[in-house]
Amino acid sequence: MLETRSISRRFGRTLALDRVDFQARPGEIHALIGENGAGKSTLVSIIAGRLAADSGQVLLDGAALRAGVSAAALRRARIAAVYQSPMLFERMTWEENLALGGFGAGASPRELDAVAARARQIAAASGFDLPPPRALVADCSVAERVRLEIVRALSFEPRVLILDEPTSLLAPAELKIFLDALGRLRAAGRIVVLVTHKLAEALAVADRITVMRRGRVVATMPAADTGEAELARLMIGALPGAPARPPRDPDPAAAPALALAGVTLVREGRRVLDEISLTVRPGEIVGLAGVDGNGQAELVEAIAGAVKLDSGGIAPAPGGASVAVIPQHRDRDGLVLEMTLWENLLLAAPLRARLAPRGFIASRAARRFCAGLLDRFAIRAAAGSACAAGALSGGNRQRLGVARALAGAPRVIVAHDICRGLDLGAAAQVRRGLAEFAAAGGAVLLISTDLDELLECCGRLLVIVRGRVREAPAADRDPERLGLLMAGAAA
C-alpha cells in the first residue's frame, strides 16, 4: 500500500496541506481531485520525493520513504511521476532527454537509437505518436512533451505511477487507448494515482476517488458510489453556475473583427500553416478543434505577430492592442514567473498605457488594479499583488493570464487551451467571462483540444489538421464525429 500519514506543508503563510491522510492500494486506480490550490500537486510531489513535508510520513508497504531522495532511488523503488509541467531540456532532442533522464533499465545516453526504438514501442502500446527523429524539445508541442514524460515514466514499469493532469491535451482516440493502458497497469497489480479535474474521467476509470479542498481531504469513496454533482459539491462547496452559452448568431453583414486570408507558414520545408482563411465577427465565439501539434501554436504566433508569414494576410495587423492572446504555454509564453503579479499585468500593452502613463509606472495604482482583478477572478495569492507569479498554483497562473487579457479591453481574444489545468468552478467562470465578452460585442477564437468545451461555448466550429483548416458541418457537432475529423477523416 502507498500511504501518507498526517502530511502538512506550508509555503510562507499559505498552509498548502493540513494533516493529509491518503491511501492507495495495489491493483487500484485512485483519482485525486480538487479545485485549483487544493493541494493535489503538492501532495503528489511529496509522495514522489520532489518536496519535503513539514510533518508527517509517506510509506510504501509500511516503510517510510525519505524526502529528497535521488531519482535513481525512486526508480529502484519503482515510483514514477508525471507532472503538469513537463521537465525537459529544450535545446536537446527528445531521445537525449529520455536517455539522460534514465530511460528504462540500463539505458545509456549513447544508445539513442535503442532508446528511440523502445520509446516508440511503449508509445504505440499507449496509443501515442512521438515527434520525428532527433527533433528538439523546443520544437515539440506541449502535448508531445506530455507524451514523452508519460512514455519515460512507463519505461520503468513502475509499481507506483503518479499522473498529475496527464490527459488534458490528449486527443479523444489517444485518451481512450491511454485509459485502457492504465486499466492494464491496474490488472498487473500496480498502484496508479491519477490527479485530474475531469470528473467524468475520474468516474469512468478510477476505483476510488479522494476529494481535497483547501489543503485537506474531505472525502474518499468508491467511484461507483458517487456522481459528478456530489463530487462538484465536495470540491467547491456548491455546484458551478450555469454553463457558458454561445452568443446568438452575429450579424452576417458585420465586418470581421479578425480575418485571415491564405495564411501560409513554412518551417524546414514543411507547411505548418497551409493557406488558412477564416473570419471571426463581433459577438462570435469560433472554436478551432484539433489534435495538438497540427499548427495551432504556429497559428497563435502568426496572429500575435511573433512570426513572419510566407504568404497571406491578417487583419487587424498582428501585434496590435486590439487583439489579446492567451497562449497555451502559460509559464513559457504567458508569464514571467520571477516578476510580481502586478508587474506581469504591465506586460500587456493596453494596461501599460493605462498604468504607466508617459512611461512612468504608477505602481500604487497598478497594485490596486491588480488586487481588484485577483478578487474578481478568485486568484489565490498569499502575498496579494506583490506575490511572484511563480508562487501561484498552475490554475491560478492560468486565471491571471485570462484576467490580464480581459482587463485590456481588446476587440479580439485568441485563447489557446484556456481551461487546461483549471478545476470545475474556475473553468466555468472563465468560459462565462468569454461568453460575456462576446455578448458585449467582442470576438473570440477559442482553440482547444477539449471537445466538450468547444461544443459548450462556440457557435461555428473549425477543425485544423496538418496546418489546414476547414469548417465542421452542423451535422458533425458531436464529440465522436469531431474526433474523426480531427484525425483527418473526410467530411
**pLDDT tens for each residue of 203-232:** 989 999 999 988 999 999 999 999 988 998
> Which pLDDT score, from 0 to 100, does residue 261 have?
95
With b for 16 or more beta-carbon neighbours within 10 A and e for fewer, the 400-428 pattern comes to bbbbbbbbbebbbbbbbbbbbbbbbbbbb
User: Which pLDDT score is estimated for 191?
Assistant: 93
pLDDT band for position 244 (cuts 50, 70, 90): low
Asked if residue 107 has pLDDT above 60, the reply is no
428 sits in the region (left: phi over 0; alpha: psi -120 to 50; else beta) called alpha
Does pLDDT of 431 surpass 80?
yes
Percent of residues, the chain, with pLDDT higher than 90: 37
pLDDT in tens, 358-373: 888 888 999 999 999 8
Mean pLDDT over each residue of the chain, to the nearest integer: 86
Asked whether the predicted pLDDT for residue 113 surpasses 70, the reply is yes
The grid cell for 83 is: 507532472
Give the pLDDT band of residue 247 (cuts 50, 70, 90). low
Residue 401 CA to residue 326 CA, distance in Å, equals 6
Residue-wise burial string across 248-258, b where 16 or more C-beta atoms lie within 10 A, e elsewhere: eebeeeeebbb
- Residue 108 banded pLDDT, cuts 50, 70, 90: low
Domain 2-236 and domain 258-486, same fold? Reply is yes
Q: How far apart are CA 51 and CA 237, in angstroms?
A: 29
Q: pLDDT of 119-136, one tens digit each?
A: 999 888 877 788 999 999
The lowest-confidence range among 103-112, 210-219, 226-235, 318-327 is: 103-112
Residue 86 sits at the vertex; the CA angle it makes with 124 and 488, to the nearest 5 degrees, is: 45
Cis peptide before 158 (omega within 30 of 0): no
Superfamily of domain 2-236: P-loop containing nucleotide triphosphate hydrolases (3.40.50.300)
Q: Write the CB contacts of 109 (distance below 8 Å, at least 6 apart in sequence).
A: 96, 99, 100
Find the mean pLDDT for residues 109-113: 74
Q: Which residue has the higher pLDDT, 246 or 456?
A: 456
- For the stretch 361-411, pLDDT in tens is 888 999 999 999 888 888 888 788 989 998 887 778 888 998 999 999 999
Could you give the residue ranges of the DSSP H alpha helices within 305-345? Answer: 341-345
CA angle 44, 21, 224 (to 5 degrees): 85
CB 440 within 8 A of CB 384: no
**Based on C-alpha coordinates, what's the Rg of the chain?**
23
Is the separation of the CB atoms in 31 and 64 below 8 Å?
no
pLDDT at position 210: 96
Q: Are the beta carbons of 12 and 382 closer than 8 angstroms?
A: yes
pLDDT at 222: 96
The pLDDT confidence band at residue 68, using thresholds 50, 70 and 90, is: low
470 is written with which cell numbers? 476547414
pLDDT score recorded for residue 245:
60
Per DSSP, helices labelled H in 277-393 are 296-304, 341-345, 349-355, 363-376
Residues facing residue 447 across a β-bridge: 288, 416
Encode pLDDT of 85-96 as tens digits: 778 898 999 999
Which residue has better confidence, 50 or 216?
Answer: 216
pLDDT digits (tens, 9 = 90+) for 141-187: 777 888 888 888 888 888 899 998 877 666 677 777 778 888 888 88
Percent pLDDT > 70 in the chain is 92
Domain boundaries, the chain: 2-236, 258-486
180: its cell numbers: 485502457
Q: Which of 322-336, 369-383, 475-489 has the lowest mean pLDDT?
A: 475-489
Place 67 in a pLDDT band, splitting at 50, 70 and 90. Answer: low
Q: How far is CA 31 from the centre of its chain?
A: 18
- Which residues contact residue 217 at a Cβ distance below 8 angstroms, ignoring those fewer than 6 apart? 20, 21, 22, 210, 211
pLDDT of residue 128: 77
* pLDDT tops 90 at residue 487: no
| Single-letter residue type at 431 | R
Class of domain 258-486 (CATH, top level): alpha beta
**Mean pLDDT throughout 289-303?**
90
Burial class (CB in 10 A: 0-12, 13-18, 19+), 443: buried
User: What is the structure's pLDDT at 43?
Assistant: 92
Cβ–Cβ < 8 Å for 212, 43? yes
The 3-class secondary structure across 428-483, one letter per residue, is: HHHHHHHHHHHHCCCEEEEEECCHHHHHHHCCCEEEEECCEEEECCHHHCCHHHHH
Top pLDDT among 167 and 278 is at 278
Give the tens place of pLDDT for each residue, 351-360.
998 888 888 8
CB 47 within 8 A of CB 68: no
